[in-house]
């Protein structure tokens, strides 16, 4: 990824051909539809744990991951942006109480990150890099609970692959 070309400069790009960008999105969407069809079929035959480890599902998850990477590269190369389009962040089920917002209450708040670079296992195993998300998500839940138990306010937390989770709403940018 070259950061020296005009796509990374301060000047607007002008006319950009969006067709290759749409084709990259279409490839991801097509693979996701194929995943849904396969997952429904596999789940109809097997239990959840077996379905998670089914080679057809693992192959599709790997393919989707590669297509997501290709989408990132396509957007990056054409626009010079660093799109965070594949993170997994869940919204809270209940709307946050403004009285519990640390910034609204006048307390300090900051964002903290913990990162890992993880390679595939050396030994023969069924473990994949996709399984790392479950491990890190579980650890994140334990850390959030420990922070809460210690008296800290945890407004939100997330796990992502590739880039740090983006906790900043577009609304915040307008303020």
Tokens of 119: 């390679």
User: What does pTM read for this prediction?
Assistant: 0.52
Residue 41: pLDDT band with limits 50, 70, 90: very high
User: What is the DSSP-derived secondary structure letter of residue 73?
Assistant: H
List, for residues 44-74, the tens digit of each pLDDT value. 999 988 888 899 999 999 999 999 999 999 9
Does the pLDDT at position 174 exceed 50? no
Alpha-carbon span 85 to 88, nearest angstrom: 9
Domain ranges for the chain: 10-79, 98-167
Strand-pairing partners, residue 88, are 159
List, for residues 68-95, the tens digit of each pLDDT value. 999 999 998 898 888 888 777 777 665 5
**CA proximity to 29, closest of 75, 53, 63, 54:** 63
Tokens of 69: 């990477």
Alpha-carbon span 2 to 77, nearest angstrom: 8
């Amino acid at each position: 990824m070259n950061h020296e070309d005009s796509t990374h400069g301060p000047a607007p790009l002008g006319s950009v051909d969006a067709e290759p960008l749409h084709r990259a999105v279409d490839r991801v969407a097509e693979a996701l539809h194929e995943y849904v069809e396969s997952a429904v079929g596999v789940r109809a035959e097997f239990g959840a744990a077996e379905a998670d480890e089914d080679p057809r599902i693992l192959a599709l998850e790997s393919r989707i991951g590669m297509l997501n990477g290709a989408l990132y590269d396509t957007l990056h190369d054409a626009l010079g942006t660093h799109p965070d389009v594949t993170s997994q962040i869940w919204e809270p089920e209940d709307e946050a109480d403004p009285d519990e917002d640390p910034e609204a209450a006048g307390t300090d708040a900051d964002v903290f990150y913990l990162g890992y670079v993880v390679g595939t296992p050396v030994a023969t195993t069924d473990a994949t890099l996709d399984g790392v998300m479950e491990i890190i998500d579980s650890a994140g839940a334990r850390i959030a609970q420990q922070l809460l138990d210690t008296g800290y306010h945890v407004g939100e937390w997330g796990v992502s692959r590739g880039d740090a989770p983006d906790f900043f709403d577009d609304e915040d940018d307008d303020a």
